[in-house]
Amino acid sequence: MTLVSQRDVFEPTADLAWTIEDDAVDPLRESSREARFAVSNGFLGVRCSRAINREGRLVLPPRTYVAGFFDTSGPEGPISGLVPASDWLQLRVTLDRDVSEHDASKMSPHRLVLDMRRGMLLTESRQHSGTALGFRARTLHLVSLHARAIGLQLIESCIEGPDVEHGLEAHVGEKGFALVPERLEQSVAVWHTKQSGKRLGMAVKATLNIDGRELAPVALGQLAWSWQWTSRPGQIVSFERMVALTRTDGGEVDTGERARNELEAAQRIGWRGVLAEHEAAWSRRWDCSDVVVEGDVGAQQALRFALYHLISAADPMDDRVSIGARGLTGEDYHGHVFWDTEIYLVPFYIMTWPEAARALLMYRFHTLAGARAKAVRMGWRGALYAWESADTGDETAPEQVIGPDRQVIRVLSGQQEQHISADVAYAVWQYWQATRDESFLLEAGAEILLETGRFWASRAGLEADGLRHIRGVIGPDEYHENVDDNAFTNVMARWNIRRALDAAALLRERWPERWSDISNRLGLVDSELEEWRRAAETIVTGFDRQTGLFEQFAGYFGLEDIDLAGYAGRSVPMDVVLGRERTQRSQVVKQADVVALLALLPEEFEGEAAAANFRYYERRCGHGSSLSRAMHALVAARLGEDETALRYFQETAAIDLADTCAAIAGGVHVAAQGGIWMTAVFGFAGLALQAQSLAFAPRLPAGWRSLTFRVAWRGRRLKIGIDQARHVLEATLEAGEAMTILVNGEQHKLGIGPVKVALFGRLDGR
């Protein structure tokens, strides 16, 4: 019998380019699917789970995460980590006294569909009771992109067996491991963390309708309800559960009442209203963010999947949180924030969702005190950001971990991976270049630039050779520790100092009162600024003018050169293959280091130096990080090596879309998803941010017929279309004042209506 509803909300978007589907039942891959099919809105994240039941025990309970909900606990010592909230999706179904919790062994089939267009997970399954077919069910769940505190679960089932006693129990599952209950009532609960003093409030409402009539529940106690009825063939049972979750970071705010108020507001418009607002919010985001590829189905799916998770990860309404390495899709790295956010994610938000970019950068401003404290603790001035950051800005990187060989490994990243301060400054300057957000610059951005610039000026020590050296660091290539004059670190440090000087000059010229205030508060005087200039002029970069190569760090060229072609097809990282000690004595690189520098600061590579450095380091990179291939794809695309770029693009997409990477069990690699967007827009479309305009130098892969996307620029919105066959770039100014863009170095004025620019033979780089 066909399931019925006023509107078939359970049917996914018809265009397959908008959906990801899976109908396999494989316990070994279930945790990966939990991450891949997760739903999130930047405040709440819910992993997918089919709740496989083995011998009556729930072994893979779904997890809900709340952004910024950290506590200090766990088996690895006093490390601040993201605390799972209570599971609000659990159901217990009774068919003639046969109890099941979506038992996978009795599901045939169980279809999962991630509807990326609508931002929700849909499932379809059949449940058996003994030899008789019990019921067929379709489900939908989401966390609202419009009202971020709200989660919605809908289930519509059709009874297909004979008359049986039927029951359904809805309850909130196990509480987070570090939560202490404060208030537990029928429909409202409050917990707090053991150490950090954060509170989580939850309000829940569940209803059951049978053939359109609401059935009264039996209250089972705290956050639990039960319904009992005699079912008959053809009966339609509809279940609705709405939940509101709120977080407070201390104080006297009643988070339980806040949750109740959020839920009541949602109930006033009903689940259809919640669904409509959610879909409208997703539609607005897609209008600004979508990237359309014609001619490559796989690339289109990869981009949509990347954009789905990028949109899902951000919350522009909360500038006290940032995006962890796995977003809200898993617990790898304890939910900590790395350089991933500023280098791989913020560019997407700057160009498509500036409000989200601003919130992420304000998080770095709010954690500036922790960065200052770390710099002082280590003997320097200014601000040294935490390599791993949670909610306070304090360093949360572990001091040791257990390696693949079960040996204890000392972790130096928290002390030596200092390029993070330049990475934050880079994102701040990119945001300023793209938005001209004066209030942000005056409120937060200039101070971040000045304090990070001050750090590098104090960190780069003047030595007997008359040059400044930065010793004892780790660059992006984490296979080599405690190195001197890492090229990425030093060149980014020099760039950071120069942008700090630019910010000081800008404030002095345009906002003298603000400059007087900030310089007095920070104790900045002209003599210190002059010292910064001298520091920037004398920092060692490792650039060899004869070869055009940057030496990755002092002494790198003298290390063992290992041909990685001999290790093709390996399934483990190179440091495991070679051993840590030999890896450190070799030129094998974990991830893009000089290549990352080439991606971020291409102006530092003159003439043939860009191609020379890419060729040299590409064949020495083992890609032991999910971040690496995207950087290589971006640089290869800019260099016109479209086949190489497309290969790296596809390999980056496979990290989360293919069942080849066991690490996805801990969450989606959201920075790699950002890298996919960067490769398409900054790489293949050749977009570059310049002082007064946007520039494009398109080089599409041979199989891509066209590439279309939108970007934001200083209060404007542009639509860019690149047609491979016709060798044309079409730019349309959809909102904002007239502007000028550069296409292959030539200026073109944008006003009302589209502007078409002939690209001639340069479109594909040949």
Q: Which residues are catalytic?
A: 478
For 638, the token pair is 């800019």
For 173, the token pair is 């599952």
Rounded to the nearest angstrom, the gap between the alpha carbon of residue 318 and the centroid of all alpha carbons in its chain is 15
Q: Is 263 helix (H, G, I), strand (E, B) or coil?
A: helix
Output Rg (C-alpha) for the chain, integer angstroms: 27
Beta-strand runs (E) in 160-217: 164-171, 179-184, 188-193, 199-210, 213-215
Measured between its terminal Cα atoms, the distance across the chain in Å is: 59
Q: Give me the residue label for tokens 């018809």.
A: 14
DSSP element (H, E) containing 628: helix 628-638
Residues 6 or more apart whose Cβ sits within 8 Å of residue 307: 116, 286, 289, 290, 291, 673, 677
Residue 141's alpha-carbon distances to 60, 122, 679, in angstroms, are: 18, 7, 32
For 680, the token pair is 């398409």
Q: Give the integer Cα–Cα distance in Å for 19 and 308.
A: 10
Give the DSSP letter of residue 557: G
By the 8 A CB rule, do 223 and 204 touch?
Answer: yes
Residues 6 or more apart whose Cβ sits within 8 Å of residue 233: 159, 160, 161, 162, 163
Specify the length of the chain in residues: 766
Q: Give the integer Cα–Cα distance in Å for 633 and 353.
A: 23
Burial (0-12, 13-18, 19+ Cβ within 10 Å), 338: buried
Q: Is 324 helix (H, G, I), strand (E, B) or coil?
A: coil
Q: Give the integer Cα–Cα distance in Å for 359 and 531.
A: 32
Alpha helices in 511-579 (DSSP H): 512-522, 526-538, 574-578
Give the DSSP letter of residue 381: S
Residues 6 or more apart whose Cβ sits within 8 Å of residue 375: 381, 382, 383, 384, 455, 458
- Nearest alpha-carbon partner for 60 in 24, 33, 20, 22: 33
- Nearest alpha-carbon partner for 293 in 20, 735, 679, 636: 679
For 282, the token pair is 């997703």
Q: Is 310 helix (H, G, I), strand (E, B) or coil?
A: helix
Q: Is 617 helix (H, G, I), strand (E, B) or coil?
A: helix
Question: Which strands make up the sheet holding 755-758, listed edge to edge?
Answer: 291-294, 706-713, 716-723, 728-735, 755-758
CB neighbour burial string for 161-190, b if at least 16 within 10 angstroms, e if fewer: beebebbbbbbbbebbebbeeebeeebbbb
Burial (0-12, 13-18, 19+ Cβ within 10 Å), 97: exposed
By the 8 A CB rule, do 306 and 677 touch?
Answer: yes
Q: Give the integer Cα–Cα distance in Å for 116 and 284.
A: 13
By the 8 A CB rule, do 135 and 95 touch?
Answer: yes
By the 8 A CB rule, do 669 and 716 touch?
Answer: no
